[in-house]
Amino acid sequence: MDTMKALVLEKKGEIILKEVPLPRTKKGEALIRVKACGICGSDIPRIFGDVAYYYPSIPGHEFSGEIIAVGEGTENRSLLGKRVTVFPLLPCGQCRYCESGYFEICDHYGYIGSRQDGAFAEYVVVPLKNCLELPDNVSYECGALTEPSAVTFHGLQRLRPPFAGTVAVFGLGPIGVLFGFWAKTAGATALIGFDVDEVKLSFAKSMIFDDVQVPNEENTRKMIEKYTAGIGFDYTVEASGNNHALVNTLKIVRKLGEVLLLGNQEKEVKLTSGEMNLILRKELTLRGTWNSCFAQLGSDWKSVLEYQRLKKVDFSHLISHRIFLEEAPQVLRAMRDRKLPYTKVLIIPGGGIISC
């Protein structure tokens, strides 16, 4: 076996299925047979926009698979043959943040699926230390959702403890919905979602949200009255990367409340002086959050898998599509053109339905 099928991003907007050389493992690395790889919202601009780090490259950073080989000279072979998910961030291990276990804010990190080749392929090579074994009752498919689940779990951990109260989330894509799961699990007393997309609204409602609305002035006012007795939400979450949503998080949070910033703002962000003054006059706390914690202690990844093992959360319903590598270029274009209603699309390189 010298070659594999992979989706290669040749240049901006041009992603094609090709036969490429099988990547080689070095000491401390694992060769993974990819079982499932999620398409992340960030993959769309990476493929069709100007944010790719290099060409040709293979995207894909939300994945699970089986370790089928380890690099020569690797002493610890205990994960060989195991089902794993993989933390895609490659910390430098040298900077002050790495030394303190904050790999997610490493000064000089690499990244599987953007700064080096990822898992839109039959196989991928990763450092063994980035692999985490899946519990027996967590499927490869749910294992591939560990990355976005950990990112949202991380966001919740960034809020000031103890977490309790009313929550409004703007943006009901996978990140907003996953955050909703964690907020509810942690004890949110009311969980309200806002989005302009009717399909996303009804999906979020069917999953975990208490109420969902299109975010216009009348609806936000009604929700404040109904769920917070008029004072505003204890927590608001920006999970869409949209400027209007950001402004809304400031408007409907209560005084002394917290605003969690989860969405990647891809365009210029503008606040009027009145909107900016909301932060001051309400004495708000704005929490930025980035990636997820993979340290030995306090690992968001271990927590996410443990919650799934104990069946306290079930993310399988988030998966709307399972596709072959062959279908991916067409599906990616449909996602870009908003012609495909979806929540989470998984690429299954081996094809077929997989459970464990």
CB of 96 to Zn ion, least distance (A): 8
Buried b (16+ CB within 10 A) or exposed e, 109-138: beebbbbbbbbbbbbbbbbbbbbbebeeeb
**Residue 146 phi, psi (nearest 5):** -60, -40
Q: Which is nearer to Zn ion, 94 or 216 (CB)?
A: 94
Give the residue, chosen from 22, 68, 95, 105, that forms a contact with Zn ion under the rule CB under 5 A: 95
Binding mask 266-285 for Zn ion (x = CB under 5 A): --------------------
Q: Does the footprint of Zn ion cover residue 175 (CB under 5 A)?
A: no
The contacts of residue 135 (CB under 8 Å, 6+ apart) are: 305, 306, 308, 309
Length of the chain: 356
Q: Which is nearer to Zn ion, 40 or 58 (CB)?
A: 40
- Kindly give the residue spans of alpha helices, DSSP state H, lying in 169-316: 174-186, 198-207, 217-228, 243-252, 273-281, 300-309
Q: Which is nearer to Zn ion, 98 or 207 (CB)?
A: 98
Q: Interface residues for Zn ion in 15-54 (CB under 5 A)?
A: 40
Question: Whole-angstrom distance between the N-terminal and C-terminal Cα of the chain?
Answer: 25
Q: Interface residues for Zn ion in 75-94 (CB under 5 A)?
A: 91-92
HEC assignment per residue over 158-196: CCCCCCCEEEEEECCCHHHHHHHHHHHHHCEEEEEEECC
CB of 109 to Zn ion, least distance (A): 6
CB of 296 to Zn ion, least distance (A): 16
Nearest-angstrom CA–CA distance, 277 and 146: 38
Q: Which is nearer to Zn ion, 139 or 149 (CB)?
A: 149
Stretch that binds Zn ion, among 95-103, 167-175, 264-272, 330-338 (CB under 5 A): 95-103
Residue count at the site for Zn ion (CB under 5 A)?
6
Q: What is the dihedral of CA 126, 130, 133, 138, to 10 degrees?
A: -90
Q: Which is nearer to Zn ion, 109 or 235 (CB)?
A: 109
Give the residue, chosen from 106, 172, 212, 346, that forms a contact with Zn ion under the rule CB under 5 A: 106
Stretch that binds Zn ion, among 27-35, 104-112, 131-139, 308-316 (CB under 5 A): 104-112
Nearest-angstrom CA–CA distance, 86 and 134: 10
Q: Which is nearer to Zn ion, 92 or 164 (CB)?
A: 92
Q: Which is nearer to Zn ion, 29 or 147 (CB)?
A: 147
Check: CB of residue 208 under 8 Å from CB of residue 191.
yes
Q: Does the footprint of Zn ion cover residue 98 (CB under 5 A)?
A: yes
Q: Which residues bind Zn ion (CB under 5 A)?
A: 40, 91-92, 95, 98, 106
